[in-house]
Amino acid sequence: MRVSTVYVVRGSSRNSRARMRGLSLVELMIATTISLVILAAVGWVYQGTAQTYRSHDALARMQEGARYAFELMSKDLRMAGVTGCPYVTSKNVLASPADWYKNLFKQPIAATDKNGTSGDFAEFSDTLSVVRADVSREYIVNTHDNAAGSFTLVNKPDFSGGQLMVATDCNNVSVFQANGVSADTKTVSYSVTGLNANADLGTTYAKANGARLYRMSAVMYHVVPNGAGVPSLFRATPTGAGGALIEEELVEGVEDLQVTFTVDSSATQDGEADYYTKETADTPYVTAGYLNTTASDSATLGGTTELRWGRVTSVRMSLLMRTVEDRMVPTKQKYTYNGTASTATDLRIRKVFTHVIKLRNR
C-alpha cells in the first residue's frame, strides 16, 4: 500500500488571514475625514465659481441692456425734428399742438423731471420725449387733392388709420393724422376728426407728384415697474384716432433714468454749448425743470419754452440699473447716483451707465 505524504507549511494560514484583514476603525475615520475635506473643497470651489458666473452674467446683461437702451434713445435724439428734407414753410393741422407728440416743428424734444406722483409718467424717473419723421420708409405721392383731403400713393401703404404723418415736397411741409388708409386704392385721407383740428393743408401745401409722406415717430422714454414688479425702461407711443399712449417694455432692471442738457447760451446761437452754470455751479448741464420754467435765464435763452428747448445742443442720459436676481453680493451695496450717495436695501448689484448725445441741426 502506497502512503502519501502531506506537508504542512506553518504560518501560511496566518499570512492569509492577515491579507484578508480590513481597515481598522481609526483608518476608516481618517479616510472619511480626508474625503469630506476634499468634498468640501470641491463644493467651495464650485460654489465660488457658480457665484462668479452669476455675477459676470448679470453684469453682462446690464451692460447689454444699457447699450440697447442708449442705442434706441440715441437714434431718436439724433433725428429729432427731422422732416425728411429742408423746408421753407410748415403747417400743423393737429389739434392742441402743445401736446408733446404733436409739436414736431416748435419743440421736437421735451422732458420732465422725476416727480414721484403716483400714476404719472415721471413717477419713477425723468421722462424724455422725441418727435421726428421716420425716414426709414418713405411713400411717394402720385396725386394730392387738398379739397378732398386725399393723397394717392405710387405704392400701397403699409400703415393703418390713426397714424400721424409728415408730408413734404422739400419746400413746404405739413403734419396731419391719416384718418383713412386704403391699400387697395393706395389712398391716404384726412378729415376734421380724430386729432385733426381742420382738414385744410392749404393750397400752398398741395403736394406735387413725387412729394413724400413719412410716418411721424413720437416716443416717450420713462421708467415704470413691469407686470412682474421689476422696474424697467418703457417707451410710450401715441396710437389710434385719439392718440392713446401705448407702452412698450424695452429693458428690464432699469431703476431710474435721469436726463440733463447743455444749452447754447451765446447771444447769437452758434450750435455750441457755452459753459453754462446758471442752475448748478461748475457744470454745463441743466435739468428739464430749468428749461420748462419761466424762472430760467429767459433773457439769454428766450422767453418761451420752445425757444429754450431750441437752444439744447446735447443730452446726457444716465441709467441706474440693477440685477433682476437678488442675493448677488454678500453685503448691501453702496453706490452714488445723480450726485446722491445711497445704500441698497437688498443684495442686488447696481451699476450706473451714462451716455451723451450731440444733437444735429443745432
Among 129, 135, 190, which residue's Cα sits nearest to residue 164? 190
CB-count burial class (<10 Å; 0-12, 13-18, 19+) for 170: middle
Strands 244-252, 231-239: pairing kind: antiparallel
Among 287, 265, 304, which residue's Cα sits nearest to residue 111? 287
Q: How far apart are CA 103 and CA 107, in angstroms?
A: 6
pLDDT tens digits for range 83-126: 999 998 899 999 877 789 999 999 999 999 999 999 899 999 99
Which pLDDT score, from 0 to 100, does residue 42 have? Answer: 84
Which pLDDT score, from 0 to 100, does residue 256 have? Answer: 98
For residue 224, give Cα distances in angstroms to 18, 22, 264, 285: 77, 69, 32, 25
Which pLDDT score, from 0 to 100, does residue 45 have? Answer: 81
Domain regions of the chain by residue span = 23-78+253-362, 83-251
Answer yes or no: are the C-beta atoms of 268 and 298 closer than 8 Å. no
Which pLDDT score, from 0 to 100, does residue 156 have? Answer: 96
Which pLDDT score, from 0 to 100, does residue 302 have? Answer: 85
Which pLDDT score, from 0 to 100, does residue 203 have? Answer: 60
Which pLDDT score, from 0 to 100, does residue 362 have? Answer: 73
Among 220, 218, 226, 291, which residue's Cα sits nearest to residue 255? 226
Mean pLDDT per segment of 10 residues, for the chain of length 362 residues? 52 57 78 86 78 84 96 96 91 85 94 95 98 95 90 95 94 93 96 91 68 96 97 96 95 98 88 78 88 82 90 96 92 95 96 95 74
Instruction: Kindly report each contact of residues 58-65 with a partner whose C-beta sits within 8 Å and lies 24 or more positions away, as own/partner.
Output: 58/323, 58/324, 58/325, 58/328, 58/349, 59/349, 59/351, 61/253, 61/323, 61/324, 62/253, 62/321, 62/322, 62/323, 62/349, 62/351, 62/353, 63/353, 65/251, 65/252, 65/253, 65/254, 65/321
Which pLDDT score, from 0 to 100, does residue 205 have? Answer: 58
Which pLDDT score, from 0 to 100, does residue 341 have? Answer: 96
Answer yes or no: are the C-beta atoms of 50 and 133 closer than 8 Å. no
CB-count burial class (<10 Å; 0-12, 13-18, 19+) for 53: exposed
Among 271, 291, 264, 270, which residue's Cα sits nearest to residue 279? 291
Q: What is the pTM of this model?
A: 0.85
